[in-house]
Amino acid sequence: MCGRFVSASPPDELARYFGAELDDRELEPSFNVAPTNEVYAVKAREGTRHLVTLRWGLVPFWAKDLKIGSRMINARAETVADKPAFRKAYQRYRCLIPADGFYEWAKEPGRKTKKPYFIHRSDGEPIVFAGLWERWRPRLEDGKTIDEEADPIESCTILTTTPNATMAEIHDRMPVLLAPAVWDDWLSEDTDLDYIGSLLVPAPDDLLTLVPVSTAVNNVRNKGEELIRPLPERDGDAAPAADD
């Protein structure tokens, strides 16, 4: 899965990187983005890319309240086309979610606490997650009728797939990462879904670098740059075990 990531690049830089118009407000840089936080995303409207902000944790249009979003931060590539929570968004509402890197935790033999790693692109370029988004409106007191007067909330999820060789050292899943050559196809509603499905594969083995970091990242209240500072490997450290 992908449960925390880093979003510290200024929005104007992201807009230039994606060739997108900047639509929404500026978010505070965060080195520990957590579920339900607002995040940057790229959507397409009438052939133009727009950098917007979305709530992380997809809330399906049919949901009774926002709570379901905290359980919808990731969508599995193997089932996303069929799951009721994601099916419509997969067909029509795809987005790109930029990050400076993300975190994953690995089990260590003989230790109860998992070891966190900061994972970033080896070439220093931004990571681009394959994402889905949805628009949701609150319901009236009867719990059934949608409040058409209420402002909609737009939310998103990150797709995951099986790991490449690098990620397999620490976990059995990884986020789907998209290269610039396929961004337009991913964003377009008109792209054949069989082709979209072919993009949900592990990234090349040499694309990512794993950096051991402090367990301070475990606390979502910690948001500073010190979280991605590399920790020295301890004497006797072996390759991390794969997570179950």
Q: What residues are annotated to the active site?
A: 2, 104
Task: Say if residue 6 is exposed, middle or buried (CB neighbours under 10 Å; 0-12, 13-18, 19+).
Answer: buried
Nearest to 11 by CA among 29, 35, 32: 29
d(CA 74, CA 55): 13
Contacts with 181 (C-beta within 8 Å, 6 or more apart), sequence order: none
Tokens of 7: 């979003």
DSSP state of 14: H
Tokens of 147: 């409040």
